[in-house]
Structure 1
C-alpha cells in the first residue's frame, strides 16, 4: 500500500518551552527588573510575566492582537506552563507556533529566534522541553496511516528515551509501550481511532502523544512528539522538526508485514536505517549526530529492549 508522505503533505506546529530574561527593560514597555523573579511570583513578577507574553505575541504576530476566541493556531501564542520553572530573573514561557504547511515552518523558526535573541536572554533549563505537532492539514488521518505510525511507535518506543537522556527522567515524557511491545503490535490492526488513542497514549505525557487526535483537543488531528529537550537555537529546532517528519514518513512507507512476532530485537543501527529517508525525501533528511544526545547512537549497535 502506498501512502502519500511528501513534505508538502504534512502540517507542522511546535511548542517551545523556554525561560526568558529581558536584555533591557526599556525595550519592553511596562517591564520592571526585580530581585529574584521566576518562581518568586510577587505582584511585580506576575505583571512582568503578562507584560512579556503580551509583548512577544504582538511582536511575533506583527502587531495583531491574539484573540483567544479565534482559531488558536493561526497566530503565535505565548502562555504559561506550570512545569516550566524560571529563576534568577528568568521567566518561564511556552511559545506556541501557528500551523505551517509544507516547508513554511523554516522561515518561521528563524523569525522566532531573531525576535527572541533581539530582546531576551534565553535559558532552556531541565524543566523545559520542545514539542512538535504533525498533522495532515485540514483532513483527518486515515486509520491505515495511524495504524502504520502506531506500529512504528510500538516497535521503536524503547529507543527514543535512550537516545534523548535529557528527557529520560521527565514525568512529562513517558514511554508509549510499557505494557509490552508485541501485545500492542497484535492489537493495532484491529483497532479503530478512539481505541488506538487509548492503546498508544493512555495518558497525554507519552513520548509520542496520540491524544491530540481526539476531536475535543485544542490541537486536534495532530500527532505530538514530546521527546525533545529544550533548545535555544533555530538549527536544533529544525532538526527536531525534520526528525519528526522523517519518523512519520518512515512509518508510512514501511510495509505492514514488517511488524511480526518474529521481529528481531531493535538496535540503534536498525533505527538509524529506519529513519534514513528515500532519495525523493530530501526534505526530511536529519543530522542524527546533532539530534540525539547519546554517543552510542553513532558508535555502538547496542540492542534496545
Structure 2
C-alpha cells in the first residue's frame, strides 16, 4: 500500500488590499488582479497565484488560484470574500507543500488585510497517491469517522458543528438519522457499491457534510473532503488541520477491526493515540499535538 497522499487546500477568507484606492462598486475582477499582481512579485514561480474569480477552480488543479466565494458573508464593504485554492500538493517526505502554504500566506498578509468570520471555513481534500479510494477502504474510513465523531466535534467551534453546510452524517443524512455508531456501521457494511456508500453518508449525493464523499462519484475529482475546520488566516493552523486529515484517514485506512479500534477511548488523548499508531513518512505529529492542545 502506497503511504503517500495528495491533498488540496481551500481557505475561505476576507481580504482588503493594502494600498489600493477603490470605490464601493469596484469590480471584484479588478481587485483580484491588483492582489495577485502584488503577491506574485514576491512568490516563486511554483507558487504563482492565478485569477479565477469568474471560473470554477476545482478542476484546475495545477496552480494556486484566488476565486470568489459566495458562501462567505460580510457586512464590511471594504473586505471582499475570497477562496484561496491550492493545486494538488504531494504529501510525502520530500514534498515542499508546507513551505508553499507558508509562503502564500506570508505574502498575502503583506499585501492584504486578512480577516475571517463564522461564515469562513477551511476545506481539505485528500486522495491516495497511488490510485483511488476503494470501497473497502472507504467503509473503514466511515467506521472510524463514526467512532471518533464527537471527539472531532469537540475540536471545532459550535458554529461549525451546527452549520447546515457541514453537518454530521449521523445527524443530517436520512439513512443514518438517530442511529448509534454501531448501527451506522452496520448500514455501511450492507452497501455493495461506492454510490450506495455516498448516498448513505451524504444523503443522496449532497456535499454539505463534515465529511464529503461526493467527489468519489465516477467522473469526480476522486477526493474525500473534510469541511469542518473553521476559517483562519494562520498558515500554521492550516498545516495542523491538513496534518490531522492525512493522519486520520491514514490511521483509518491501516486500522484493524472495530473491537480493536474501541480500545482507544473516545477522548482527545485517545484520538491522538490512535493517530500515532501507524507511522507515516513525512508526517509531523508535533503539529497535531499543537492543534489538539490549542483547541481541546
- Shorter-chain TM-score tier: 0.7 to 0.9
Residue in structure 2 matching 1:209, options 196, 209, 212: 212
More moved, 268-277 vs 196-205: 268-277
Equivalent residues in 2 for 1:154-165 (5 A)? 154-165=146-157
| CA 69–79 in structure 1, closer or farther in 2 if over 3 Å, else same | closer
Question: Which residue matches 2:88?
Answer: 99
User: What is the RMSD computed on CA atoms of the aligned residues?
Assistant: 2.9
Residue in structure 1 matching 2:62, options 74, 82, 101: 74
| CA 288–74 in structure 1, closer or farther in 2 if over 3 Å, else same | closer
Query: How far does the alpha carbon of each residue in 1:177-231 deviate from its partner, in whole angstroms, 9 at most, with x for none?
Result: 22212222012233221111111222311111111212344xx110101111111
| CA 56–199 in structure 1, closer or farther in 2 if over 3 Å, else same | farther
Q: Aligned equivalents of 1:288 and 1:110: distance in 2?
A: 17
Question: Which residue matches 1:118?
Answer: 110
Q: Which ranges in structure 2 are unaligned for 5 or more consecutive residues?
A: 172-176
Question: Which residue matches 1:43?
Answer: 25
Question: Which residue matches 2:135?
Answer: 143
SS of equivalent residue, structure 2 residue 283: helix
Question: Which residue matches 1:39?
Answer: none
| CA 63–132 in structure 1, closer or farther in 2 if over 3 Å, else same | closer
More moved, 125-134 vs 109-118: 109-118
Q: Aligned equivalents of 2:90 and 2:255: distance in 1?
A: 24
- Matched residue count: 272
Question: Which residue matches 1:190?
Answer: 190
More moved, 193-202 vs 176-185: 176-185
The question of 1:250 aligning with 2:251 is answered yes
Q: Aligned equivalents of 2:13 and 2:32: distance in 1?
A: 12
TM-score in terms of structure 2 length: 0.80
Q: Aligned equivalents of 1:143 and 1:256: distance in 2?
A: 16
Residue in structure 2 matching 1:15, options 7, 10, 19: 10
Q: Aligned equivalents of 2:116 and 2:224: distance in 1?
A: 23
TM-score in terms of structure 1 length: 0.78
Q: Aligned equivalents of 1:245 and 1:264: distance in 2?
A: 19
Report the Cα offset of residue 233 of structure 1.
Answer: 1.5
Question: Which residue matches 1:276?
Answer: 276
Contact 1:56/1:78, CA 8 A, preserved across alignment? no
